[in-house]
Amino acid sequence: MAFHARHLLGIEQLSPLEITTILDLADRYVDLNRRTVKQSDTLAGMTQINMFFENSTRTQSSFEIAGKRLGADVMNMNMATSSVKKGETLIDTAMTLNAMHPDLLVVRHGASGAVNLLASKVNCAVLNAGDGRHEHPTQALLDALTIRRAKGRIDRLTIAICGDVAHSRVARSNLILLGKMGNNLRLIGPPTLMPAGFAELGATVIEDMREGLRGADVVMMLRLQKERMDGGFVPSMREYYHRYGLDAEKLAFAKPDAIVMHPGPMNRGVEIDGEIADDINRSVIQDQVEMGVAVRMACMDLLARNLRADRGRKIAESYV
């Protein structure tokens, strides 16, 4: 298997071959997940701890289901009632958990870079479930799998990422992944929601949504992340919907078979029209959720293989 990483911290560290390895294995887990009996013993005997310092519905439940289907013992830490609230530092919490010998640690944190820091302190495999505005690698991988299954490939596509790019780790991880695989990337949004450095990642920045959507194969909408905004980034929700909300009229500028994506949670009537989101001929939003479980199973499977190999090597060395 062409996957040698110890942790899954970001797309930045993955090669195109490693990305393809994850997607190929995830395809097999999609098949398993569609059966009545979904159990595998890949992670049997292993302990997975989910630590979510930020709210999550999809990602946390997806990681929990993925771990359980692979046979791991899964524990969800309730960070709202944990000692973090009593002032314990992230590293102290991590070291405490580390002493309980987990094998996989799934972490979401509001600060960019927090998960990388934590990974440098523990003895298990760490998976980044989203850190600040930095990365959300499993989201980009599940998006890639969704696109590959809908379009038959994950290269040479015109992909428009629209909306609140500035606050979005989803946009960042997707840009890196889709750029590595060789796609034509466009970023659409108002200048107030467009960070300067993103164009350097190889995307064309377009302010007008209709122009940006013209001829697109994939339309990826982003949530307006009000919780990360501390000032007036948009004049009003109505005005934003008028200019950047995806509705049938704007979608008509994309290719007739363009797919519509959204990582969730959606603000209906803000960045996307409810009817478009529910249109089974255009929207692949539910497929994204399904692919999420399979991709997370693939990532944990691959990391567990490397963890076992690593530990085996250390034991062998201790006998020399």
Residue ranges that bind ligand ASP, judged by CB under 6 A: 130, 136, 169-170, 223, 225, 263-264
Measured from the CB atom, the residue of 195 and 264 that comes closer to ligand ASP is 264
Q: Of 106, 233, 114, 228, nearest to 168 (Cα)?
A: 228
Interatomic CA distance for residues 190 and 205, integer angstroms: 10
Q: How far is the CB of 72 from ligand ASP (least distance, A)?
A: 22
Could you give the C-alpha distances from 148 to 23, 85, 240, 284, 296, in angstroms and in order?
Answer: 9, 42, 31, 12, 16
Q: Of 233, 214, 215, 217, nearest to 225 (Cα)?
A: 233
Measured from the Cβ of residue 301, the count of other Cβ atoms closer than 10 Å reads 21
Q: How far is the CB of 109 from ligand ASP (least distance, A)?
A: 11
Measured from the Cβ of residue 55, the count of other Cβ atoms closer than 10 Å reads 13
Measured from the CB atom, the residue of 108 and 148 that comes closer to ligand ASP is 108
- Residue number of the CB atom closest to ligand ASP: 223
Measured from the CB atom, the residue of 46 and 145 that comes closer to ligand ASP is 145
Interatomic CA distance for residues 305 and 258, integer angstroms: 37
- Tokens representing residue 37 in the block: 């009996």
Q: How far is the CB of 314 from ligand ASP (least distance, A)?
A: 35
β-pair partners for 104:
48, 125
Q: How far is the CB of 306 from ligand ASP (least distance, A)?
A: 26
Measured from the CB atom, the residue of 136 and 296 that comes closer to ligand ASP is 136
- Tokens representing residue 44 in the block: 């049997």
Q: How far is the CB of 40 from ligand ASP (least distance, A)?
A: 26
Measured from the CB atom, the residue of 32 and 289 that comes closer to ligand ASP is 289
